[in-house]
Amino acid sequence: MGIRERLSGNEAAAIAMKQINPDVVAAFPITPSTEIPQYFSTFVSNGQVDTEFVAVESEHSAMSACIGAESAGARAMTATSANGLSLMWEMIYIASSLRLPIVMSLVNRAVSGPLNIHNDHSDAMGVRDAGWIMLFSENNQEAYDNLLMAHRIAEHKDVMLPLMVCQDGFITSHSIENIELLEDEKVKAFVGTYHPEHYLLNDKEPIAVGPLDLQAYLFEHKFQQGLAMKNAKKVIADVSKEFEALTGRKYEFFEKYKMDDAEQVIVCMNSTAGTAKAAVDELRAQGIKAGLLKIRMFRPFPAEEVATALKNAKSIAVLDKADSLNGAGGALFEDTISGMYVSNIHVPTVNYIYGIGGRDTTVNDIKKVYWDLQEISNTGNIGNPYRYLGLRG
């Protein structure tokens, strides 16, 4: 029987970290993720964990410390947002190329400039191709659960890649929701102990970490990273099934909400899915066959599975909370239509950029998208596939 609590998303993330009890946490404060290391530091101070907490001078240093810790054979975690993730840029790539299973809680926020501390997905989208596994969380419960599964996924011998768990800044990070926690002993048994195969402090196997890697080998090493990302799909599925057996909470690559007979479908991530579900419910009451596909696993992207889930729709809208500034749609849109094209599935699909800098997106806004999709279904005319939702003027 789980423990019923009322927690913010940041508190839930910090408690997950406490229950995991990593060897090292290195972090630097940045809104809206500051509370995660702040809460966790109190657990360290109170002796509730035996983690080495490293108070660094910047986010670049935070990721550097995590890389050093993981290289030495320790389990390491951190948390950040937006510009903090940007400052980690160099080390983000190094962490993944060294195949270090660091786990990060990323509280999504707009990246400067101009300065904005509110939610969009520009930080996560900026590192989407950096070699990190990326799980997105609709609510506080999912943020907590994803973190409990994270080390099991990242540390698997067929994966060995860093992993970030994303949640929406302020929308979930600071909002209090009912949540069910696992007992500490169950978390400890589920997560297990980290036993790295290769690490710097192993005196029986002297190794170098981060050596020069030129033409003779870099291509093959990058191929191995890509293969590990492909391997992560099966591992994520297996760990999620084991987590369901433990908790009763089911997680797949994506959630299909009223998709069985859906004709107009929205694809989105994170907290917007909750708003979209409310819109779907209202439209269903009016006889409109609306459906939702909520992406949980963004990296690796489940292209074939997404295409199969969308093949019976009459029209689709993909919602991106970050603009790729490429004139051809956002990242989630690009991945979705690429997967459909490769699978030879052709459904009229449009993209909406929305919510930039924390712009509110209401149920009525989402309903307007479904009405647009109805028009596309009725006329067969897509019009401009690159659209904006809630843009003034």
The tens digit of pLDDT for each residue in 149-173 reads 999 999 999 999 999 999 999 999 9
Domain end among 223, 247, 271: 247
Taking the mean position of all CA atoms in its chain, how far away is CA 168? 10
DSSP labels for 26-82? EE---TTTTHHHHHHHHHHHTTS---EEEE-SSHHHHHHHHHHHHHHT--EEEEE-H
Quick one: CA dihedral 217, 219, 220, 221, positive or negative?
positive
User: Would you state the structure tokens that stand for residue 153, as one six-digit string?
Assistant: 């996924």
| CATH number of the domain to which 305 belongs | 3.40.50.920
Residues 263 and 171 in one domain: no
152 and 234 belong to one structural domain: yes
Domain count, the chain: 2
pLDDT at position 2, please?
A: 87
8 A C-beta contact, residue 351 and residue 389 = no
Q: Give the C-alpha distances (Å, rounded to integers) separating 62 from 43, 57, 75, 98, 239.
A: 19, 8, 14, 16, 28
Q: Is 329 exposed, middle or buried (0-12, 13-18, 19+ CB in 10 A)?
A: buried
Q: How far apart are CA 66 and CA 113, in angstroms?
A: 27
pLDDT at 130: 98
Q: What is the pLDDT of residue 274?
A: 98
Distance CA 294, CA 10 (A): 22
Count other Cβ atoms within 10 Å, centred on residue 314: 17
Distance CA 240, CA 319 (A): 25
Residues 116 and 177 in one domain: yes
Q: Note whether 168 and 292 are same-domain residues.
A: no
Do 53 and 143 lie in a common domain?
yes
End-of-domain residue from the set 247, 282, 306: 247
Kindly state the percentage of the chain with pLDDT values over 70: 100
Per-residue pLDDT tens over the stretch 85-120: 999 999 999 999 999 999 999 999 999 999 999 999
Do residues 214 and 302 share a domain? no
Q: What's the CA gap between 12 and 7, in Å, rounded?
A: 6
Clarify whether residues 117 and 59 are in a common domain.
yes
Is residue 8 located within the same domain as residue 111?
A: yes
Measured distance CA(15)–CA(335) in Å, rounded: 33
Q: Write down the pLDDT at residue 1.
A: 66
pLDDT digits (tens, 9 = 90+) for 221-255: 999 999 999 999 999 999 999 999 999 999 999 99
- Taking CA atoms, 329 is separated from 235, 318, 322, 333, 388, in Å, by 30, 9, 9, 6, 10
Q: Do residues 274 and 314 share a domain?
A: yes
Q: Are residues 214 and 362 both part of a single domain?
A: no
360 Cβ contact partners less than 8 Å away, ≥ 6 residues apart: 390
Regions of the chain with pLDDT less than 50: none
Q: Tokens 């993909």 appear where?
A: 318
Q: Identify whether residues 239 and 109 lie together within a single domain.
A: yes
Full domain range(s) for residue 314: 254-389
Assess whether 67 and 214 both reside in one domain: yes
Residue 393: per-residue pLDDT:
83
How far the first Cα of the chain sits from its last, in Å, is: 52
Among the candidates 220, 247, 274, a domain finishes at 247
Task: Report the C-alpha gap between 37 and 1 in whole angstroms.
Answer: 28
3-state secondary structure of 169: coil
Q: Which helix (H) or strand (E) holds 338?
A: helix 331-342
